[in-house]
């Protein structure tokens, strides 16, 4: 938990630092205090609602970013046409970066970590 919580707080603080210019230390404290307040005040129900709203915002933001990105490159068809050689999942076992064997065998290690 300590690894994930620190990464989440740091990434949020880094975003606040880059977007709004708030110092990194103040951003970390601000995120931590706000999360502690609504968790203490509202309990698990408040955390569940916050997760629902924040998760929905992430999904909506991802969709908006995808649409804007596709429009910027000339549409979905143009994107697939230009990147056809990069848009496949199964690579040969001899591939230097991500062979198919890494997907079958290697990805279970981080999956078990997150699922556990």
CA distance 53 to 45: 12
Could you tell me what percent of the chain has a pLDDT over 70?
A: 97
Give me the pLDDT at residue 40, please.
92
CA distance 80 to 88: 11
Q: Are 33 and 52 in contact (CB under 8 A)?
A: no
pLDDT tens digits, residue range 74-93? Answer: 999 999 999 888 887 778 88
pLDDT tens digits, residue range 21-43? Answer: 999 999 999 999 998 998 898 89
Give me the pLDDT at residue 67, please.
97
Give me the pLDDT at residue 1, please.
63
Rounded to two decimals, the pTM is 0.59
Distances (CA, A) of 22 to 37, 41, 58: 20, 26, 22
Q: What is the average pLDDT score of the chain?
A: 89
CA distance 45 to 51: 10
């Amino acid at each position: 938990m300590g690894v994930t919580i620190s990464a989440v707080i740091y990434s949020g603080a880094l975003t606040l630092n880059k977007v709004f210019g708030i110092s990194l230390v103040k951003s970390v404290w601000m995120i931590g205090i706000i999360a502690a307040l609504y968790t203490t005040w509202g309990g698990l129900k408040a955390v569940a609602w916050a997760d629902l709203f924040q998760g929905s915002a992430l999904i909506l933001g991802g969709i908006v970013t995808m649409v804007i990105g596709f429009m910027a490159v000339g549409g979905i068809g143009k994107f697939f046409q230009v990147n056809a050689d990069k848009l496949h999942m199964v690579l040969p076992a001899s591939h230097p970066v991500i062979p198919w064997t890494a997907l079958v065998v290697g990805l279970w290690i981080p999956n078990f970590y997150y699922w556990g």
